[in-house]
């Protein structure tokens, strides 16, 4: 569950923008919700139609001169990439351009087992191939010692990267990175492949015509996959690239689109993010990144089909491994529910695939609404990944816990780490300590709806008009809308993996889809009033068009979210033995009738815990008291609570249980006294 914020865009301003910008009222409402009040401001954000001069980036001229000289002199060149989608696309872009220029060029992409960036073993291999010049793409800005090693081997280096600069720049003929402290270029958010495209333009004298036509598709895929800001130049690059993708004659891309199940659909940023990019990334996680590079370089349709099929298979293996880790984590939480009440979720397993631990952490974070740190021990090493949101910084937490770590890195939202042997428990203690010290009130997941929907706004024209705001992604998220109605039916899809809610609002009937959520996890039943935060789209099935709604969250309107989260925060603080105001404890104490009411309300097949609370709540049953009663019943072995879907289920009992003997109630009584 998330805290909702529903914006109320000014209608007069929206009407003015709708008229002056030639957009639909719904699209105009979204723009006003996001702070746009004039056509000029809208144009500045959404009408970027070019890339800036590549030579505005520091050292771009030196890079172009160095590389062009190497081509002219017949020097052997290595393009050194990275194993994620951005690094692979950047490698293909620069390698393709240099090959077409007649350069003596090859590429090297490290396997995930080698780690990120330049490494001495790889440098030795490259040196043994009589290489004169190494050009990095999507890495290199932090490779200070590796750069010196390259020069000690008699080679030269050009760095192109888009990551943050450290205290020292590596030795190189040129260091092209918009995040250099001394780079005055205005746009800083280009991904590695976007920067590679700019380099090819610089090598061609600064003209983007060839670069965009040849590589705009690859740069667009990488820009979406790397979740960089879809504003300004990136917005133009992705828009341009999507047009190329939808009319592509690149055999590898055609094959990959087919294997992604997108062959009969228009490709948009979502298609790239959830269909194309994961299959490219799967090569670096479960196979070799060379496989994806070879697919994009391939000119034989039959070979492309075979490579695309292999990537699709790797992606399925990725999903299986990811699901296995997530199921193991839920099992660990069910076995020890106290882990779920911590400020920070930390779970460590054995032999979990390191290539998907980060994805698993993101899924658990989304499910539980807390920062998540996941580690796995393999071959005596405990490595992990973390994900967070809001003001809780992963990098800040890792820095605080540095004494328990061999190494770590990252930024506020994500990071990686290696735990010292025998220090797992200490690591978790330090994470909790960091949370308590710097975030007394831990951040709560939020969603913001751009506007409330009324039935008169739900027209095909209005919803279609939202496409004027595309492409959607980081810093230009797909609009969310608030809607109220009555649930007529809730139907399981894909064997219960997803749900479809048939609803009525304003006299009109619509279907709302809730992905990765079974009907049992939705706190509604037929006939209930509901409120939902939904994204909108148009479904075209055999020429018949209809409005689609996809729910980000769906709740009964009777739930006061602020009180809910305050009560839940207090209950978890109590379970962590944190001190609460004395007047909190009496109102947390349930009586026998409350416990019986909860137990009796659980049907044979179980019920979502929040749904049951909403069903039986009254002025005497606050949510904190409800949580305490549920915990008491769980401790007594009378019910089970699933961490995966928050379902309460009865457990058959053969003897009477004394409610007062539950440990949680004994602790609570001691605090009241």
Rounded average pLDDT over 580-588: 94
Could you give the domains of the chain?
54-218 (3.90.1640.30), 336-438 (3.10.310.30), 447-555 (2.40.50.460), 561-672 (no CATH)
Global pTM reads: 0.89
The upper half-sphere exposure of residue 507, i.e. CA atoms within 13 Å in the direction of its Cβ, equals 3
Pairing outcome for strands 481-493 and 451-452:
parallel
Residue 600 CA to residue 373 CA, distance in Å, equals 37
Mean pLDDT, residues 559-576 taken together: 91
Integer CA distances (angstroms), 642 to 333, 337, 490, 494, in order: 9, 9, 21, 21
Name the band, by pLDDT with cuts 50, 70 and 90, for residue 619.
low
Q: How many helices (H) and strands (E) does the chain have?
A: 25, 21
pLDDT recorded at residue 496: 87
**Average of pLDDT values for 11-36?**
94
Q: In what order do the strands lie in the sheet with 639-641?
A: 607-608, 647-650, 639-641
The per-residue pLDDT for 100 is 96
Look at the alpha carbons of 399, 404, 407, 413 in this order and tell me if their dihedral is positive or negative.
negative
pLDDT band for 525, please (50, 70, 90 cuts): confident
Q: Which of 131-140, 552-561, 595-604, 656-665 is predicted most confidently? A: 131-140
The dihedrals phi and psi of 3, each to the nearest 5 degrees, come to -80, 130
> Token digits for 564?
């809910």
Encode pLDDT of 628-649 as tens digits: 999 999 999 999 999 998 999 9
Segment 140-161 shows an average pLDDT of 96
Choice among 37-51, 229-243, 287-301 with the minimum mean pLDDT: 37-51
Token pair for residue 546? 């209809």
For residues 307-336, one letter each, b for 16 or more C-beta atoms within 10 angstroms of the residue's C-beta and e for the rest, the string is bbebbbebbebbeebbeebbebbbeebeee
CB–CB of 401/364 below 8 Å? no
Mean pLDDT of 561-590: 93
Strands (E), 515-627: 529-541, 544-555, 607-608
> Within 10 Å of residue 611's Cβ, how many Cβ atoms?
21
């Amino acid at each position: 569950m998330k805290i909702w914020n529903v914006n109320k865009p000014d209608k007069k301003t929206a009407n003015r923008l709708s008229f002056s910008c030639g957009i639909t009222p719904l699209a105009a409402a979204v723009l006003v919700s996001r702070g746009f009040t004039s056509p000029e401001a809208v144009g500045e954000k959404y009408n970027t139609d070019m890339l800036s001069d590549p030579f505005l980036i520091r050292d771009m001229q030196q890079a172009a001169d160095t590389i062009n000289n190497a081509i002219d002199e017949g020097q052997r060149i290595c393009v050194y990439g990275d194993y994620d989608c951005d690094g692979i696309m950047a490698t293909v872009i620069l390698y393709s351009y240099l090959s077409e220029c007649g350069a003596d060029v090859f590429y090297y992409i490290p396997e995930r087992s080698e780690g990120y960036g330049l490494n001495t073993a790889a440098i030795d291999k490259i040196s043994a191939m009589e290489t004169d010049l190494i050009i990095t793409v999507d890495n290199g800005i932090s490779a200070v010692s590796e750069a010196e090693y390259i020069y000690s081997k008699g080679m030269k280096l050009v760095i192109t990267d888009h990551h943050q600069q450290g205290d020292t720049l590596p030795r190189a003929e040129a260091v092209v990175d918009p995040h250099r402290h001394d780079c005055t270029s205005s746009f800083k958010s280009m991904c590695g492949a976007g920067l590679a495209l700019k380099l090819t333009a610089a090598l061609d004298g600064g003209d983007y015509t060839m670069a965009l036509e040849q590589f705009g598709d690859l740069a667009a895929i990488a820009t979406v996959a790397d979740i960089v800001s879809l504003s300004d130049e990136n917005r133009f690059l992705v828009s341009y690239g999507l047009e190329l993708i939808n009319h592509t004659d690149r055999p590898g891309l055609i094959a990959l689109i087919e294997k992604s199940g997108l062959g009969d659909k228009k490709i948009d940023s979502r298609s790239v993010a959830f269909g194309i990019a994961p299959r490219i990334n799967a090569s670096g996680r479960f196979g070799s990144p060379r496989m994806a590079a070879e697919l994009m370089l391939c000119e034989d349709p039959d070979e492309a089909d075979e490579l695309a099929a292999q990537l699709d298979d790797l992606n399925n293996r990725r999903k299986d491994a990811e699901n296995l880790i997530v199921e193991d984590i839920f099992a660990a939480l069910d076995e020890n529910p106290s882990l779920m009440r911590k400020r920070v979720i930390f779970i460590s397993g054995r032999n979990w695939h390191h290539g998907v631990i980060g994805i698993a952490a993101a899924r658990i974070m989304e499910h539980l609404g807390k920062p998540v740190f996941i580690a796995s021990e393999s071959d005596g090493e405990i490595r992990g990944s973390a994900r967070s949101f809001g003001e809780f910084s992963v990098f800040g937490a890792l820095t605080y816990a540095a004494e328990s770590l061999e190494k770590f890195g990252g930024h506020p939202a994500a990071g990686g780490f290696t735990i010292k042997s025998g220090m797992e428990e200490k690591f978790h203690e330090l994470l909790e300590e960091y949370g308590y010290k710097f975030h007394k009130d831990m951040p709560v997941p939020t969603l913001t709806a751009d506007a409330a929907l009324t039935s008169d706004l739900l027209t095909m024209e209005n919803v279609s008009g939202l496409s004027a705001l595309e492409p959607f992604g980081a810093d230009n998220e797909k609009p969310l809308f608030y809607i109220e109605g009555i649930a007529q039916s809730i139907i399981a899809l894909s064997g219960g993996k997803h749900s479809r809610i048939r609803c009525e609002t304003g006299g009109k009937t619509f279907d709302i889809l809730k992905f990765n959520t079974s009907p049992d996890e939705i706190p509604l039943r037929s006939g209930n009033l509901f409120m939902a935060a939904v994204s909108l789209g148009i479904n075209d099935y055999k020429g018949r068009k209809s409005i689609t709604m996809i729910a980000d969250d769906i709740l009964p309107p009777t739930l006061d979210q602020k009180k809910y989260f305050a009560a839940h925060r207090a209950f978890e603080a109590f379970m962590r033995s944190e001190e609460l105001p004395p007047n909190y404890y009496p109102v947390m104490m349930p009586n026998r009738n409350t416990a019986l009411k909860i137990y009796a309300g659980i049907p044979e097949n179980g019920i979502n815990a929040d749904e049951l609370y909403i069903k039986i709540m009254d002025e005497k049953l606050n949510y904190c008291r409800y949580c305490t009663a549920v915990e008491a019943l769980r401790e007594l072995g009378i019910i089970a609570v699933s961490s995966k879907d928050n379902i309460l289920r009865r457990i058959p009992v053969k003897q009477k249980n004394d409610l007062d003997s539950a440990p949680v109630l004994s602790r609570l009584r001691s605090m009241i006294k």
